[in-house]
Amino acid sequence: MRSPQLKPWAVLLVCWCMVLPLPLSGSKKREVVIQRSDRAAIDARVHEAVEVAGVLLHEEALSEHLNRIVARLVNVPQGTVPPYRILLINGSETNAFSLSDGTVYISLGIFSMIDNDAQLALLLAHEIAHVRLDHHRRFRYELHERAAGSVLFGGDTPYNLRVAMSGFSRSLEKEADSCALRNCIESGYNVWVAKELISTMYSWLKYKEKGYRSSTATHPRFAERYQASKKMLEEIGVDSTSGMVNKQEYYEVLQPHMAHIVRLLRQSNSVRELYKMALRKLDDDVPQPEWYYLRGSLLEHYAPKDSFPVAVYSLTSAFRNDTSNTRSVRDLGWLYLKNGNCDSARVCLERYLAVAPAATDGAIVRFYLERLGE
Amino acid sequence: MLNKPRRYGIRLEKPKNWYQRRINRSTVFTRNGLALEYILLESHQWRDTLTNGFQLPPDILLHEIPEIVLGEYCARGYAFNLQVTANEIIVIDSVPCTVTRYTLTSPNSLTKQGVMYCIPFSRFLTILTYEAESSHYFERSVDEFNEVAHSILVRRKRYRVLPGIRGTVE
């Protein structure tokens, strides 16, 4: 009997099929499941990168506030530590991401878009939902690590925007959105107010990325997410006035960090949005002295001629509301100087030196005072 | 001697034994390579639009110039973790200008130190920057940069008297 002869092309075909399983007709993209040990290794790498970069921010009051919100979201008994760890990153990037071990990293820049506790809860609930639903099993870690890198090393350059993508697929993001909204409703937050965060993020990214939506290319479109959440809330029949918003406490906790956040955003190509944000927040029903200062300072810096009366009003109000804010007097001095009102400038700068004689910019102020004296 | 008053508004002594190269509207000097150290002389037009959409305002106060220039570097991704360690106004060749000292992390993860002089002129802003890797190269060449900075001669006719410093320039 003649033995069957193996054709070389058939052998090659079989080997290829074993190595790369052929996609079934009509099936979607092949899903890669990441093993638990691999996930832990990747998490460790991200933690290490954060440590090495030295960008972790240790702010007790803010961390406590975040932990309180998380405890409310996950409904743990009082005094028990929730299984999620919230860590703050000292960066201007408007981003937050979670790891499979339950760590949620939040970049300081994102606080510029959040107006109250309800919105903060929605953001945290979204990240927690990724962990709860075990999305990290179906996760494109390569992208995620790059996203973490962009958060750590300044996320506003075009290059970093390009790589700052989430590792989740769009369907997973939608699932996390829906889970987060339900979680917020159960925890007693006002989800109608909270979902406005989606529209704020949309306008922010639209401006920053000039329509390319590179950093959120793996997310569903913001307009789509907004409509989906609105539809969901209407279907459930949630009352738009019920639930906690908690704006006052949010502002009180954030107040000491605002100057730092503003400095970060100024350095990161976000001044125009920052300015809009200052105006928006000032129109709120809880105007804070810091916001008056912020608006006045930005106007003094970027539009001293066109917005002179508004800037003077803002800086004066800032000082009147908080007399310890000596920067508002100094900036008022700069504003008068730019507009040629030397007498008022001298009064303001002298007052600044009298209140803060050991200020780091004292030498510069004295230089101008000498010239004004001449 | 580098004598380009039309382009930069100043004259200065070149650092000895450094390579010189022109890139667009700027002149750069280096001895060990641009990644490790360089002295950069550049000029920016007033009303140049910055990356953040605002313009370099011609009625800016003198001490505010470095903040805007360094902010622009960060926005363009040339610098990360930027910290200004000192910002002061000094007088060079009888005209006031700013000297700013800073540290940063470069895109290739080197920690660098820098010194930046900003001198405003009627049509442009001249910036002289020395930036070098901080652990070795900065200290090694900072004296040579100081010699360059002290040799600056300003074309006073073109100097821009910014608000608040009127009466200073002869």
Question: Could A364 and B87 be called an inter-chain contact, meaning their C-beta atoms sit closer than 8 Å?
Answer: yes
What's the mean pLDDT in A349-362? 88
Question: Could A271 and B54 be called an inter-chain contact, meaning their C-beta atoms sit closer than 8 Å?
Answer: yes
Task: Record the pTM.
Answer: 0.63
Lowest mean pLDDT among A248-262, A279-293, B128-142: A279-293
CB within 8 A of B104, min separation 6: which ones? B73, B79, B80, B81, B82, B83, B111, B112, B114
CB within 8 A of A157, min separation 6: which ones? B75, B76, B77
What's the mean pLDDT in A31-43? 68
The gap from C-alpha B3 to its chain's centroid, in whole angstroms, comes to 17
Quote the CA–CA distance of A118 and B154 in Å, as a whole number: 58
Q: How confident is the model at residue B7 (pLDDT cuts 50, 70, 90)?
A: confident
User: Which pLDDT score is estimated for B82?
Assistant: 80
Quote the CA–CA distance of A271 and A253 in Å, as a whole number: 23
Q: How confident is the model at residue A26 (pLDDT cuts 50, 70, 90)?
A: very low
Q: How confident is the model at residue B101 (pLDDT cuts 50, 70, 90)?
A: very high
Cα angle value A348/A354/A358 (rounded, 5°): 115
What is the 8-class DSSP label of residue A244? B
Of A153, A272, A345, the CB nearest to B52: A272
User: Which pLDDT score is estimated for A270?
Assistant: 58
- What chain B residue is nearest to A153 in terms of C-alpha separation? B80
The answer to whether residues A113 and A201 touch, using CB atoms and an 8 Å cutoff, is: yes
Q: A363 pLDDT exceeds 50?
A: yes
Q: Which of A11-20, A262-271, B65-74 has the highest mean pLDDT?
A: B65-74
First to last CA, chain B: 24
Interface test with A, best of B55, B80, B102, B106 (most A CBs within 10 A): B80
Q: How confident is the model at residue A236 (pLDDT cuts 50, 70, 90)?
A: confident
HEC assignment per residue over B20-47 = EEEECCEEEEECCCCCCEEEEEEEEECC
Tokens at residue B68, please? 């805007």
Q: Which of A311-315, A317-321, B51-55, B149-153 has the highest mean pLDDT?
A: B149-153
User: Which pLDDT score is estimated for A167?
Assistant: 57
Q: Which residues of B touch A359 (CB under 8 A)?
A: none
Say what the alpha-carbon torsion angle A161, A165, A171, A173 is, to the nearest 10 degrees.
Answer: -90
Lowest mean pLDDT among A257-271, A296-310, B110-124: A257-271
What's the mean pLDDT in A33-56? 74
Q: What is the DSSP string of A11-50?
A: HHHHHHHHHSPPPPTT--SPPPPPPHHHHHHHHHHHHHHH
User: How long, in residues, is chain B?
Assistant: 170
User: Which pLDDT score is estimated for A166?
Assistant: 52
- Per residue in A104-136, pLDDT (tens digit) is 988 887 887 787 888 889 999 998 998 888 887
Within 13 Å and on the Cβ side, how many CA atoms surround B154? 26
In chain A, the percentage of residues whose pLDDT exceeds 90 is 4
User: Which pLDDT score is estimated for A125?
Assistant: 92
Tokens at residue A291, please? 């916001």
Interface test with B, best of A360, A371, A372, A374 (most B CBs within 10 A): A371
Look at strands B2-3 and B10-12 and give their pairing: antiparallel
Work out the number of other CB atoms within 10 angstroms of the CB of residue B57.
18
What's the mean pLDDT in A178-200? 83
User: Which pLDDT score is estimated for A263?
Assistant: 67
Tokens at residue A216, please? 């959120």
* B77 in reach of chain A (CB within 8 A): yes
Q: Which of A179, A50, A173, A78 is nearest to A122 (CA)?
A: A179
Q: A30 pLDDT exceeds 60?
A: no
Work out the number of other CB atoms within 10 angstroms of the CB of residue A79.
6
- Per residue in A57-108, pLDDT (tens digit) is 888 888 888 988 998 888 877 666 678 889 988 877 777 888 888 889 888 8
